Amino acid sequence: MSKKFLIITVAVPVVIFAGIGVSVVLLQTNNSKKVQVNSLETQAKAIQNQIQQTDAEYRQKMNEITDKQKQNNCIELKDTEMITGENQTEKQIGKQWKVVSMEGICGDLFNQNEALAKERSYKTGQLQTQLDLLTARSASDREKAMASIRTFMAKPDLELVYTGTRHPSNFNVGVITNQDEGGYTMESFSGWERRVEVYQQKEYINDRCEVYEYEVDVRNNQIVEIHVRYPDGLAGMSSGKCASYGSMEVPLKTKDEIEKVAFSYLGRDPEHTKFLIRSDIQPEYLPSKTTAKNPAMNEWRWEDKSYKLPEGLTSDPFPYPMIRIIISSGGKLVYYLNTTELFN
């Protein structure tokens, strides 16, 4: 309508008119994008609220059953040995509720709690899947993340499945609240939110039918973590089907061979492992058993202990930027963690 009006009533040069027309179209396009972004944010917020509400409702029901378990002496506070400390080497005795009876009403209450826990997990999982689909990056962006994984693993044809976007498994910076003997609650702090895309590979890695799962920083496609797990939907599969994949622990490799494997992985991501060339940070070798000739697990760790978070903030579970890599006695990758850029 505006174009027709201008043509009929105003004798303007075609070039100027075209410029005006383009400006209008661009303005409309930008506005539509803003509306779309706002709509996605609104939908995502609604799903997040629904997840929190569903979780809270089920926790309340489970807490009510737990109170009944206490009243009926089905559970008791027992001393429990806990492994704590920066290197997970310190032992402390803490209190934890333990089941002491499954007879009669105690068994019924236990089963009710278990059923509620499974139902809660299922319903929140369904909502989380909706949220992941809504907030996922484009296919082209996710392809860049998968390219990073294939390069790091030196497998250009590695088949990967995107399973969702979430908070990193082993990185959290926030403000501690409600601290007591049983632990503490940490609230997120603006500017320290991090998101990773999670991928599972299709290829099995051992005779237990396990696979590698990868966490990739959505900001820069850096691999943050790699760990071993059963693929979704296949937990508990008979190992007979995967016997041809062999063990993670044998045949045994020498320490020099294992170290070569570890550093070959690190060398495939020079952009995000610059941390390793700093002269003030030396690697620490941490075998799973110091007296063993061929320890089952061989870890190398780099930590920047000079790093200081802003006052009032805490990092959990590790206080400093770090790189960890663990290789099995058979020379297989078991675990990788790189939080150096998450602290940026």
Can you give the residue ranges of every domain in the chain? 13-75+103-135, 138-338
Closest by CA position to 199, among listed 170, 179, 224: 224
pLDDT at 95 over 80: no
Tokens representing residue 258 in the block: 């294992």
Angle at 142 between CA 136 and CA 143, to 5 degrees: 160
Per the CB < 8 A criterion, the answer to whether 226 and 186 are in contact is no
Strand 322-328 to strand 314-316: parallel, antiparallel, or no bridges (unpaired)? unpaired
User: Average pLDDT over the chain, rounded to whole?
Assistant: 82
User: In this predicted structure, what is the pLDDT of residue 271?
Assistant: 92
User: In this predicted structure, what is the pLDDT of residue 253?
Assistant: 92
Average pLDDT over residues 32-44: 66
Q: CA-CA distance, 232 to 16, in Å (whole number)?
A: 59
Tokens representing residue 239 in the block: 């190992």
pLDDT in tens, 281-307: 999 999 888 877 888 999 999 999 999
pLDDT in tens, 148-174: 999 999 999 999 999 888 889 999 998
Helices (H) and strands (E) counted in the chain, each on its own, are 5, 13
Confidence of residue 81 (pLDDT cuts 50, 70, 90): low
Residues in the chain: 344
pTM value? 0.66
Confidence of residue 89 (pLDDT cuts 50, 70, 90): very low
Tokens representing residue 33 in the block: 């994008």
pLDDT in tens, 104-153: 999 999 999 999 999 988 888 888 778 877 777 888 999 999 999 999 99
